[in-house]
Amino acid sequence: MCGRYSLTTPVEALRRVFGFLEQPNLAPGYNLAPTQGVAALRLGADGERHFARLRWGLVPAWAKDLSIGARMINARAESVAEKPAFRSRRCLVLADGFYEWRKRETAPKQPYRVTREDGGPFGFAGLWESWTDKGSGETVETCTIVTTEANELLTPIHHRMPVILAPEDVAAWLDAAASPEAAQALLRPCPAAVLVAYPVSTRVNKVANDDPGVIEPLEEGAPEETPKAQGRLL
């Protein structure tokens, strides 16, 4: 699954890689979590790619309130085609790393950060919807990240992973007019060789810890961190 990720790449570099029109202000996100506003791309009616901030956690149009979104943070690739709640429009959620927690027998879960081998940004296959509050009339755009089975790199850590689209597949995913069969075929684990994974501090567990420290590699075999060590700032 994918319940936490990072996007620290400067917006200029994102524009070069993904080719969207806008020049938004984008603060680095070391520890992005559900219900937060995240950076995404959508295909506009003009056929161009547009940047959008979407609330992470899909809220279907029929929902009574936003609370369902906290649980709709992922959509299984295996069920995207059938489930009514996921008959949504496609988007690309921009990232440069994601976190997975490996369960351990005795010790607490060990978090890992997974990035591209070259450190560059990438896009998760996403779905988005628009929800309007019946009372206030306020509209909120929300999104979810599609997941699939783990590839060889992720299997020792976790059995699911987000769908990471190869750059050449992004256009086919974003174009809702493209064949559903072609889009469905993109929802598979990316090659293990393009990714690397490394353990990070359990400081990432806490959403409020949104600082460069949470993406720093944790030294293997290092003694358990003390609360004092966890509290130090960089």
Partner DNA sequence: CCAGACGTTGTT
Partner DNA sequence: GTCTGG
- Smallest gap from residue 191 Cβ to DNA (A): 20
User: Is residue 158 close enough to count as binding DNA by CB under 7 A?
Assistant: yes
Check 22, 82, 100, 152 and give the catalytic one: 100
With CB under 7 A as the contact rule, which of the stretches 14-22, 46-54, 120-128, 204-212 interacts with DNA?
Answer: 204-212
Among 16, 53, 71, 188, binds DNA (CB under 7 A): 71
* Closer of 16 and 109 to DNA (Cβ): 109
2 counts as catalytic = yes
Segment contacting DNA by CB under 7 A, of 41-49, 176-184, 203-211, 213-221:
203-211
Give, as ranges, the residues between 84 and 103 that touch DNA (CB under 7 A): 84-86, 101, 103
| Contact between 115 and DNA per CB under 7 A | no
User: Among 24, 44, 53, 109, which residue interacts with DNA (rule: CB under 7 A)?
Assistant: 109
Q: Determine the Cα angle at 203 with ends 210 and 59, to 5°.
A: 55
Name which of 178, 160, 151 is nearest 73 in CA terms. Answer: 160
- Give Cβ neighbours of residue 129 (< 8 Å, ≥ 6 apart): 58, 59, 60, 61, 88, 89, 141, 142, 143
- The residues, ordered by sequence, that sit 6+ positions from 7 with a Cβ below 8 Å of its Cβ are 26, 28, 29, 32, 38, 39, 94, 95, 96, 121
In angstroms, what CA-CA distances link 195 with 77, 117, 191? Answer: 20, 5, 8
- Choice between 23 and 79, CB closer to DNA: 79
Active site residue 100: yes
Site for DNA contains 42 (CB under 7 A): no
Strand blocks (E) in the chain? 5-7, 29-32, 37-43, 49-56, 74-76, 89-95, 97-102, 110-116, 122-132, 139-149, 160-162, 164-165, 195-199
Catalytic residue among 2, 91, 143, 190: 2
Number of residues that bind DNA (CB under 7 A): 39
User: Would you count residue 188 as binding DNA (CB under 7 A)?
Assistant: no
Report in angstroms the alpha-carbon separations of 180 from 82, 90, 98, 127, 204. Answer: 12, 11, 27, 14, 37
Catalytic residues, by residue number, are 2, 100
Residues contributing to the site for DNA (CB under 7 A): 1, 3-4, 33-36, 57, 60-62, 66-68, 70-76, 79, 83-86, 101, 103, 109, 111, 147, 158-160, 202, 205-208
